[in-house]
């Protein structure tokens, strides 16, 4: 796993050839200005690239020149070494250019050309062939169908993007060229500085995971921003992203949220799989910050790129307007942000100099007529207060307010300090001149307290949660092969959905407590079993062909001893009606009625991209009505399990003991979830598994019913 | 009620004196430029006010002049009629200025001066005296503690705001002066035009309700925007706002959301009262659009002030970038926006001219290289399609994109059309020049598809829901005084919380079906009653001093006939322990065990500001755990009740019949809610009333338990 993240030396060198080439060739440079190749050439020149540039045009003669550069008829004709080859020729000619790359020992090819997988089957075939060829020749491909590459620290603009962004500490990966253009343009306008920009296109070879690995160690990059539409290698993504996030924050827009519904799987737990919810879980687990909108992404970038990470959670609001203070307080509650309480010492010092009408509290209101000196005094006084981790300064432009001078005060006080300071200079025309001063001092400014506090919330979460070592995963000794064999046997008989006694048996093998469960093949056997149990029993049809037993009258609850024969006959009759002649009845399973408890659901479902997701929540008949779930990816750890339990709205409170009820045995749930996680990792071809209900009492608990789905092709 | 909204002629005249005075006097104009009075004078002159201006300064001599205007020593010395008096003198002198207003027959006084209620008790006293005096003299007061008044159609800037906004169709009411300044400044920068601005200050006399009445008929105002921190006359507000919203949209920021928790009432239903939730309900019922943040308010203003109200719900997304289309589709799902399907005819016409790689679907992707002509052709072709109610055009700045020219196309096609068209020119520098062109054509532009679609959602809701006639309220014949007398009798005995049999009786009088309930004073009586019921019974202690009966062992469920004497004794014993010698036991109530059904809660609670709120939701023991409620204000109508039921997440689905269960009798719930609404309107001093559970079956239902709280002082 480590190897994935700490990329091999040779890979790092290859990526350097993409991002910091000493020489670039553009193959397919047209003499017409409007054409892409020509635009890329001009972009390279305009950005003032320091290395050599070799345009290639197959029609070039010995004397062809473009923008003062000699144009070569082929890559192979270039007399010098080429680090990066930008390919712009039509799709059908790309193959031979790749061959030339191989011949010239070029490792890095950025394939601008479109007309591959995105156009349909034929294009996909062409793309596959290309990748195979490139692999054989040792050429790595970025693209095809990309906007290009930018590295502001190397003056490299190997793209046809119309805007070149300012230099900064953010690396931006985009799966869409058009949105790449758009966001670059917005970066320019908002003064958001980038270290690198890279367009992913069809991701035929290099993908976001490779880039995350590379950017993890890139010294110019302090924040990684991504626009993604899909992720293929889900598990690798999680492992890599988890490691990268420990080094630097990663902010992602993942679009296509609304397609979620389409992939809803057949069974009801299946709703998890492939859905957008899975991306949410994956991002949450790795600590990737998911921005819902472009606006939100820029808000996050502003905050995270400041590198002013909060050392704690307590925020002081300072303002010159009561109303703005109220708005900010509202936002603090919305985002669960803790308000700092100033020490008595700080309060006394503030009282000495601030006007008596000021509110020495939080929000700290220094009044509408506050001049820059009053802001300076206040900020200086509160900054060293040990109770204040973060300062949010809210300035409204009132009659005598001097926003520019106040911004200068902020710059002076905090430019070289690590203190987490955010500002919210509200309004428009009057505060315009203040903003560049703030940004120059790496103080993120927001127009609205709500945005500032939202970002703060993410920053606090990032520093407190994701920058620490991971937990060990607990493993239990179990008879794995025994469980596996039961499933294989069923599969060989053609049954892909396994319920009742067999599913309970699998759980039991993995140490998950299950209800006593006996199979009766005859009425006599049933009577014997019921007598032994010596309590009212539950009787259920046991047939691999009947999954939703109660719907067909295949279940009887609270059957007394003397009622057993009748119940047996009735269940058989109902089941036979359903089976219509097929002889697939194993018998009738008999369980004692268990005492009332809280009904919980635990389950897992395989996601194509990310592996198994474990679900925990309120169980019982109405599980889909309440939808009170928490979800995590395998492997589970104790911390993850506790987070899951906390995350549910209803189940967590129910287990704690609602009103006068006693608390439930949470340890048994923790244990069941960890064991379930191990089970689906041991037998990864389990598509779905669900225990519902797991009845939990003050002490102990048991699974009453379970279902397992396995894949046909596994 | 009508009179509240359609203000009297004399009132309208008075407001015209505030907003369109022919002559203005400023009392308390200092000769120093920094002072407020001086600033207001300069603001009046700078805005080019056409009427007469009379500055007043008590130290003025016959020759004192300021900015070319003669300064008078007193209001009463002014030789001409004065319509509006702006008062800036210190608080203690205001009283005599008001007297002068009376003498000079000035009806309109805008009181800029601070130092009244907002400073504490003494200031509040001063304010009260002032209002009394003004009322006697027929002077209406705006303020005190205000920023002032602006009317862009009269070149009137009677404020000390540093920014004068552009003229437009939005009236802006602000309870905070500082936020007033801030938003005026933002209006200037964003080119958002105002008709009027008015600061409310302490609202000693004129409040938001008066202004809503006036602005309802103001021809220059098409949208009303408000920043409020509190509402005093809640019921009036609702009645007026409901009428105003039918004429023009009202957008409000109501801050102080986080103070909600503080006023949480004692009993558990009380959590409703006074809380921010109540404002949400009030705004929702009247159709006021509540903006959570300043940013959101401006987004709304942009959309609503365009007056391009959608004629239907179907939206077509047009874009030159696939990625942007996906982001917009995501947003459509988030905000439940319906995607339009083009007619075959439109599709064919598009296919004829658009490049073959275009996606003739929704989103309609006309590709990254789309030139202005392609945009023009596309927009022209789709605009008449009967399936398209709204067009959202999303433009990303790619290499060959010409945003300014595209904006010009949009302007040309839609400037004089009513079609609902919104745009989303994304990016920054490259699209800057397009925005003023769009805004000049009253096309609202957003930076982010998410914002555009959110606003659209509110616009669709506004036009489809709030612009229609209100429903009649159904009234049931009931014995009101009988119910009242029961409550009065209890109150006279000192009991303010009424449970058990008496609460059920009140409900029964109002036609709400309740379980059979008999009071047994002795074991013999209990046995008799149980025998008559001839089924297992529920026995409950009946004591005004015991409200939470089950918590103290005062309830036995499923008691069989022979167990009645024992149960009777046990309940008595448990209850006596709790009562510790007090003799407050009325007896034991006996009810039949009712058959299982869905457990619903209905209840009402009085809110100080807005009157009674009715609550409907999932009932039973875990009511506070699930918190699955909907809330509306009295009086309920059938539509409101149906909305409430729809609004709950769990209860609504449960009542429809979840999985294979039969649907429940919704008519009985509808009936119970309407009757409960009538009950709390008839007896408004009921503080809280709750039926939980109301057990509902396939046919019919009954209330099993109920509680009523009444006020001591009522």
| Segments making up each domain of chain B, as ranges | 2-303, 310-449, 471-515+594-714, 519-591
In CATH, which of 3.30.160.160, 1.10.150.120, 3.30.1490.20, 3.50.50.60 is domain A518-593? 3.30.1490.20
How many Cα atoms within 13 Å fall on the side-chain side of residue A354?
Answer: 29
Q: Is B262 on the interface with A (CB under 8 A)?
A: no
Rounded CA Rg of chain B: 32
Segment A650-662 mean pLDDT: 89
Nearest to A628 by CA among A640, A643, A639, A644: A644
The angle formed by the CA atoms of residues B494, B499 and B501, to the nearest 5 degrees, is: 110
Strand partners, B519: B589
In whole angstroms, what is the distance from residue B306 CA to residue B459 CA?
11
In whole angstroms, what is the distance from residue A283 CA to residue A351 CA?
46
B:416-445 residues touching chain A, CB 8 A cutoff? 426-432
In A47-161, which residue ranges form alpha helices assigned H by DSSP? 91-103, 121-137
Q: How confident is the model at residue A469 (pLDDT cuts 50, 70, 90)?
A: low
The angle that helices A276-286 and A234-247 make with each other, rounded to 10 degrees, is 40
Q: Do B255 and A326 touch (CB under 8 A)?
A: yes
Residue B605 predicted with pLDDT over 80: yes
In whole angstroms, what is the distance from residue A66 CA to residue A101 CA?
22
In whole angstroms, what is the distance from residue A234 CA to residue A207 CA?
12
Q: Are B378 and B318 in contact (CB under 8 A)?
A: yes
Q: Are A681 and A612 in contact (CB under 8 A)?
A: yes
pLDDT at A714: 58
Q: Which chain B residues are closer than 8 Å to A119 by Cβ?
A: 357
- CATH code for B310-449? 3.40.50.261
CB atoms within 10 A of CB B523: 16
Kind of pairing between the strands at A69-70 and A65-66: antiparallel
In whole angstroms, what is the distance from residue B669 CA to residue B597 CA?
13
Tell me which chain A residue has its CA closest to the CA of residue B39. Answer: A399
Q: How far is CA A395 from CA A226, A446, B148, in A?
A: 32, 11, 21
Q: How confident is the model at residue B439 (pLDDT cuts 50, 70, 90)?
A: very high
Q: Is B589 on the interface with A (CB under 8 A)?
A: no
pLDDT at B2: 40
Q: B192: which 2 tokens?
A: 């958002």
Tell me which chain B residue has its CA closest to the CA of residue A43. Answer: B399
Q: How far is CA B342 from CA A32, A36, B364, B385, B459, in A?
A: 38, 34, 10, 7, 22
Q: Which residues are CB-neighbours of A254 under 8 A, at least 6 positions away?
A: A228, A229, A231, A276, A279, A283, A290
Q: Do A257 and B178 touch (CB under 8 A)?
A: no
Do the domains B2-303 and B310-449 sit in the same CATH topology, yes or no? Answer: yes
In whole angstroms, what is the distance from residue B354 CA to residue B436 CA?
28
Conformational region of residue A686, where left means phi above 0, alpha means psi within -120 to 50, and beta covers everything else: beta
Instruction: Give me chain A's average pLDDT, please.
Output: 91
Residue A257 predicted with pLDDT over 80: no
Task: Name the CATH topology of A2-303.
Answer: Rossmann fold (3.40.50)
Quote the distance between the C-alpha of residue A379 and its chain's center. Answer: 37
Q: Which chain B residues are closer than 8 Å to A625 by Cβ?
A: 650, 653-654, 658
Q: Which chain B residues are closer than 8 Å to A448 by Cβ?
A: 293-295
Quick: pLDDT tens for A311-334. Answer: 899 999 999 998 999 999 999 999
Q: Which of A34, A36, A448 sits opposite B293 (nearest CB)?
A: A448
pLDDT at B449: 96
B:475-534 residues touching chain A, CB 8 A cutoff? none
Quick: pLDDT tens for B375-412. Answer: 999 999 999 999 999 999 999 999 999 999 999 999 99
In whole angstroms, what is the distance from residue B3 CA to residue B240 CA?
10
Q: Are B271 and B259 in contact (CB under 8 A)?
A: no
pLDDT at B262: 36
pLDDT at A407: 98
| Domain A476-515+594-714 annotated CATH 3.40.50.720 | no
Predicted structure pTM score: 0.89
CB atoms within 10 A of CB B367: 17
Kind of pairing between the strands at B108-111 and B140-142: parallel
Residue A264 predicted with pLDDT over 60: no
Residue A239 predicted with pLDDT over 60: yes
Strand (E) or helix (H) holding B181: helix B177-190
In whole angstroms, what is the distance from residue B197 CA to residue B215 CA?
11
Quick: pLDDT tens for A97-156. Answer: 999 999 999 999 999 999 999 888 999 999 999 999 999 999 999 999 999 999 999 999
The angle formed by the CA atoms of residues A296, A300 and A305, to the nearest 5 degrees, is: 150
pLDDT at A396: 97
Region of poorest pLDDT, from A133-147, A227-241, A361-375, B674-688: A227-241
The angle that helices A372-382 and A344-353 make with each other, rounded to 10 degrees, is 160
- 3-state class of A422 per DSSP? strand
Q: B463: which 2 tokens?
A: 């036009």
Quick: pLDDT tens for B162-196. Answer: 999 999 999 999 999 999 999 999 999 999 999 99
In whole angstroms, what is the distance from residue A707 CA to residue A544 CA?
11
Task: Name the CATH topology of A309-466.
Answer: Rossmann fold (3.40.50)
Nearest to A654 by CA among A638, A666, A637, A672: A666
Nearest to B421 by CA among B333, B311, B296: B311
Residue A32 predicted with pLDDT over 90: no
B:92-131 residues touching chain A, CB 8 A cutoff? 119
Q: Could you tell me what percent of chain B has a pLDDT over 90?
A: 80
Q: Are A207 and A279 in contact (CB under 8 A)?
A: no
Q: Do A176 and B398 touch (CB under 8 A)?
A: no
Chain A nearest C-alpha distance from B550 (Å): 10
Q: Which chain B residues are closer than 8 Å to A321 by Cβ?
A: 176, 178-179, 182
- CATH code for B471-515+594-714? 3.30.470.20
Q: Could you tell me what percent of chain A has a pLDDT over 90?
A: 80
- 3-state class of B75 per DSSP? helix
| Domain B519-591 annotated CATH 3.30.1490.20 | yes
ipTM over 0.90: no
Nearest to A447 by CA among B426, B296, B224, B303: B296
Chain A nearest C-alpha distance from B446 (Å): 11
Q: Are B517 and B501 in contact (CB under 8 A)?
A: yes
Strand (E) or helix (H) holding A689: strand A686-696
Q: Which chain B residues are closer than 8 Å to A428 by Cβ?
A: 163, 185-190
Strand (E) or helix (H) holding B478: none
Strand (E) or helix (H) holding B599: strand B598-607
Segment A67-91 mean pLDDT: 96
Q: Is B34 on the interface with A (CB under 8 A)?
A: yes
- 3-state class of B550 per DSSP? helix
Tell me which chain A residue has its CA closest to the CA of residue B653. Answer: A625
C-alpha dihedral (A671, A672, A675, A679), degrees to nearest 10: -170
Segment B203-217 mean pLDDT: 95
In whole angstroms, what is the distance from residue B407 CA to residue A41 CA?
30
Quick: pLDDT tens for B542-600. Answer: 988 887 788 888 999 999 999 999 999 999 999 998 888 777 889 999 999 999 999 99
Conformational region of residue A439, where left means phi above 0, alpha means psi within -120 to 50, and beta covers everything else: alpha
pLDDT at B261: 34
Kind of pairing between the strands at B223-228 and B250-254: parallel
């Amino acid at each position: 796993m480590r190897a994935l993240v700490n990329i091999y030396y040779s890979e790092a060198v290859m990526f350097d050839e993409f991002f910091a080439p000493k020489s670039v060739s553009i193959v397919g440079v047209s003499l017409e200005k409007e054409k892409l190749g020509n635009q890329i050439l001009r972009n390279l020149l305009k950005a003032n690239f320091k290395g050599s540039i070799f345009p290639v045009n197959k029609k070039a003669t010995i004397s062809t020149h473009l923008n003062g550069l000699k144009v070569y008829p082929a890559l192979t004709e270039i007399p010098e070494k080429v680090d990066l080859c930008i390919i712009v020729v039509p799709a059908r000619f790309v193959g031979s250019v790749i061959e030339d790359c191989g011949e010239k020992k070029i490792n890095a090819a950025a394939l601008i050309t479109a007309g591959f997988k995105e156009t349909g089957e034929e294009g996909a075939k062409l793309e596959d062939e290309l990748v195979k060829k490139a692999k054989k020749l040792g050429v790595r491909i970025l693209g095809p169908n990309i906007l290009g590459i930018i590295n502001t620290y190397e003056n490299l603009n190997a793209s046809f993007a119309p805007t070149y962004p300012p230099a900064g500490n953010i690396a931006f990966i985009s799966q869409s060229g058009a949105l790449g253009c758009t966001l670059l343009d917005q970066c320019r306008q908002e003064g958001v500085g980038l270290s690198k920009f890279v367009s992913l296109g069809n991701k035929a070879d290099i993908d976001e995971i490779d880039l995350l690995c590379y950017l993890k160690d890139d010294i110019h990059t302090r924040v990684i921003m991504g626009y993604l539409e899909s992720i293929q290698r889900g598990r690798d993504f999680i492992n890599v992203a988890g490691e990268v996030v420990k080094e630097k924050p990663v902010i992602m827009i993942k679009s296509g949220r609304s397609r979620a519904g389409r992939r809803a799987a057949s069974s009801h737990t299946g709703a998890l799989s492939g859905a957008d919810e899975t991306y949410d879980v994956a991002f949450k687990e790795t600590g990737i910050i998911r921005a819902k909108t472009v606006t939100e992404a820029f808000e996050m970038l502003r905050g995270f790129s400041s590198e002013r990470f909060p050392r704690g959670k307590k925020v002081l609001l300072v303002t010159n307007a009561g109303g703005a203070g109220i708005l900010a307080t509202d936002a603090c509650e919305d985002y669960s942000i803790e308000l700092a309480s100033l020490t008595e010492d700080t309060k006394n010092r503030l009282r000495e100099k601030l006007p008596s009408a000021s509110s020495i509290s939080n929000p700290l209101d220094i009044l509408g007529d506050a001049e820059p000196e009053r802001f300076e005094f206040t900020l200086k006084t509160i900054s060293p207060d040990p109770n204040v981790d973060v300062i949010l300064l809210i300035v409204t432009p009132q009659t005598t307010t001097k926003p520019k001078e106040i911004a200068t005060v902020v710059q002076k006080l905090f430019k070289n300090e690590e203190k987490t300071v955010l500002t919210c200079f509200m309004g428009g025309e009057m505060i315009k001149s203040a903003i560049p001063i703030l940004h120059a001092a790496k103080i993120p400014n927001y127009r609205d307290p709500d945005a500032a506090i939202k970002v703060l919330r993410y920053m606090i979460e990032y520093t407190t949660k994701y920058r620490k070592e991971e937990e060990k995963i607990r493993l239990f000794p179990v008879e794995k092969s025994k469980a596996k064999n039961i499933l294989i046997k069923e599969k060989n008989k053609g049954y892909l959905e396994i319920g009742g006694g067999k599913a309970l048996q699998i759980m039991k093998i993995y140490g998950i407590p299950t209800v006593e469960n006996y199979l009766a093949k005859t009425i006599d056997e049933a009577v014997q079993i019921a007598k032994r149990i010596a309590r009212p029993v539950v009787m259920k049809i046991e047939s691999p062909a009947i999954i939703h037993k109660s719907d067909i009258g295949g279940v009887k609850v609270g059957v007394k001893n003397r009622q057993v024969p009748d119940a047996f006959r009735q269940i058989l009759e109902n089941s036979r009606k359903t089976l219509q002649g097929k002889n697939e009845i194993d018998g009738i399973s008999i369980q004692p009625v268990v005492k009332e408890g809280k009904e919980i659901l635990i389950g897992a479902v395989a996601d194509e991209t990310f592996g198994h997701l474990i679900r925990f929540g309120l169980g019982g008949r109405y599980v889909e009505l309440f939808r009170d779930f928490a979800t995590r990816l395998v492997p589970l750890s104790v911390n993850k399990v506790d987070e899951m339990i906390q995350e549910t709205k209803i189940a967590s409170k129910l287990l704690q003991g609602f009103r006068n009820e006693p608390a439930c045995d949470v340890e048994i749930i923790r244990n069941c979830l960890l064991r379930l996680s191990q089970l689906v990792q041991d037998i990864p071809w389990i598509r779905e598994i669900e225990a519902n209900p797991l009845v939990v009492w003050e002490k102990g608990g048991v699974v009453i019913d379970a279902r397992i789905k396995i894949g046909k092709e596994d």
